[in-house]
Amino acid sequence: MPSTVRLADEFFYLAHDDQTGRSRLFESATAYGLAAALLAELYGEGRVTFEGRRLRVINTVPPKDWLQHLVLDRLVAEPRHTETRTWLAYFATAAHEQVATRMWQLGLLRQQQVGRLWRQRTVYVPADMNTAAWSWARLSFQLRNHQRLNAFDVALAGLAVHTQLDPILLDGTPVAVRAFLRQQVEQAPPPLRDLLADLGAVVGSAVLSHRTT
């Protein structure tokens, strides 16, 4: 089964249970991961790049995808803000709902009401369990068998590593498999590695805060 073409959609699948839609991570780690995935989509579209801890817009032509367009418009409107971590924090506030909405519009997720009548909320559940499980199964199989990842899956694996999802993804595997994963992620282009480093930093801080509160 082919993967979806958008990195944030694939990370959404990876970070949520393929049957219940329940998050495998705590809320802020998922949100930061989705924010980074959206920025990585723009990098893949040739709209932005990352240099050290800074983000730079290199092409202002709007992408066809409405969510990529929305993210790029905000970056262009605020040129004085260049720190990648600032933008991760900003986009993390709405990334979950925005990515879920895009996937719902594409028929990849369905909305489900949960909770009591007077306290109901909407959750997003995979429309097809096999489609939702594909990114997880694909990455897990390739890594456990020491198969080289393509550029898309390197980025997806990088998001998993830097949101601390990799221990779940590779549960029960020997140390060599985890070393292979990190070796593959290190093959990412330098701008993407810079983005992932900032993602790892903000998630690490969030994890520490989460554990001490």
Contact criterion met (CB below 8 Å) for 91 and 71: yes
Task: Note the pLDDT tens digit of each residue in 84-105.
Answer: 999 999 999 999 999 999 999 9
Cβ partners under 8 Å of residue 47, min gap 6:
57, 58, 59, 60, 61, 63, 68, 72
Task: Note the pLDDT tens digit of each residue in 119-160.
Answer: 778 889 999 999 999 999 999 999 999 999 999 999 999 999
Percent of the chain at pLDDT > 70 equals: 95
Contact criterion met (CB below 8 Å) for 157 and 180: no
**Superfamily of segment(s) 7-212:** yeast vps74-n-term truncation variant domain like (1.10.3630.10)
Nearest to 4 by CA among 102, 143, 97: 102
Q: Residue 210 — very low, low, confident or very high, per pLDDT cuts 50/70/90? A: low
Contact criterion met (CB below 8 Å) for 23 and 71: no
Structural domain spans, the chain: 7-212
- pLDDT of 2 reads 39
Contact criterion met (CB below 8 Å) for 20 and 125: yes
The Cα-based distances of 123 to 110, 120, 134 in angstroms read 8, 10, 21
When the pLDDT of each residue in the chain is averaged and rounded to a whole number, the result is 93
In the three-class reduction of DSSP (H, G, I as helix; E, B as strand; rest coil), residue 118 is classed as: helix
- pLDDT of 212 reads 61
Task: Note the pLDDT tens digit of each residue in 17-56.
Answer: 998 889 999 999 999 999 999 999 999 999 999 999 999 9
- pLDDT of 112 reads 87
